[in-house]
């Protein structure tokens, strides 16, 4: 009887130890290049240079142009959203780290003024040439003249290609 019990346990243990049916799923795909690539680095430092307080007072400070060039496949689109990292005064003026000093922004498309507002997404079709946008940055006084000294600002850029 003990022998029969041992045999049944061995047979049952062997039956339980049998592997389940195995299934295999092969997954494949293909990596492709994005429809556009930017000719500028993802993080940039833009030096605006020195601006005299008198230039802020009479609104004659010079603007600095920052090229934003995209090489794209034909019939693609570039969507761009610019957001103020430190806040904004209005839809075109960033706040800076210096009270009473702002940075007025403009966007040009091949030299012509583009429809642009902070926080709003603009989309440009690319037919066959590179897309040549220019960000124009100009220091401006926000009412009273700021005290002299260094300043900084942060502009965030979200780019989508399709």
Print burial letters for 26-52: b (CB count within 10 Å at least 16), e (below 16): eeeeeeeeebbebeeeeeeeeebeebe
Looking at residue 33, its pLDDT comes to 86
Roughly how many angstroms between the first and final C-alpha of the chain, as a whole number?
A: 77
Q: pLDDT per position in the chain (162 positions), as tens?
A: 555 444 444 545 555 555 678 899 999 999 988 899 999 998 999 999 999 999 999 999 999 999 999 999 989 999 999 999 999 999 999 999 999 999 999 999 988 899 889 999 999 999 878 999 999 999 999 989 999 999 999 999 999 999
- Residue 86 domain-assigned (yes or no): yes
Q: List the CATH number of the domain containing 148.
A: 2.60.40.1090
Domain that holds residue 140: 56-161
- Residue 155 domain-assigned (yes or no): yes
- Residue 24 domain-assigned (yes or no): no
Is 38 in a helix, a strand, or coil?
strand
Q: Which residue has the tokens 């900084």?
A: 152
Looking at residue 34, its pLDDT comes to 87
**Total structural domains in the chain?**
1
Looking at residue 16, its pLDDT comes to 55
- Residue 6 domain-assigned (yes or no): no
For 40-162, where are the E strands, in sequence order?
A: 64-72, 76-84, 88-90, 93-95, 101-109, 112-113, 121-126, 131-141, 155-161
Looking at residue 8, its pLDDT comes to 43
- Residue 34 domain-assigned (yes or no): no
- Residue 35 domain-assigned (yes or no): no
- Contact (CB, 8 A) for 134 and 66: yes
- Residue 38 domain-assigned (yes or no): no
Q: From CA 140, how far away is CA 125, in angstroms rounded?
A: 32
């Amino acid at each position: 009887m003990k022998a029969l019990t041992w045999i049944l346990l061995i047979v049952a243990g062997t039956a339980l130890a049998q592997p389940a049916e195995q299934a295999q799923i092969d997954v494949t795909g293909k990596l492709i290049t994005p429809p556009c690539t930017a000719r500028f680095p993802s993080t940039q430092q833009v030096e605006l240079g020195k601006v005299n307080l008198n230039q802020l007072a009479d609104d004659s400070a010079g603007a600095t142009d920052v090229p934003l060039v995209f090489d794209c496949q034909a019939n693609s689109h570039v969507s761009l959203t610019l957001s103020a990292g430190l806040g904004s005064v209005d839809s075109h003026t960033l706040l800076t780290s210096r009270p009473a000093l702002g940075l007025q922004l403009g966007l040009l498309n091949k030299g012509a003024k583009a429809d642009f507002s902070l926080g709003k997404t603009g989309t440009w079709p690319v037919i066959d040439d590179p897309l040549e946008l220019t960000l124009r940055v100009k220091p401006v006084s926000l009412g009273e003249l700021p005290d002299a000294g260094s300043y900084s600002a942060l502009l965030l850029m979200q780019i989508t290609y399709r």
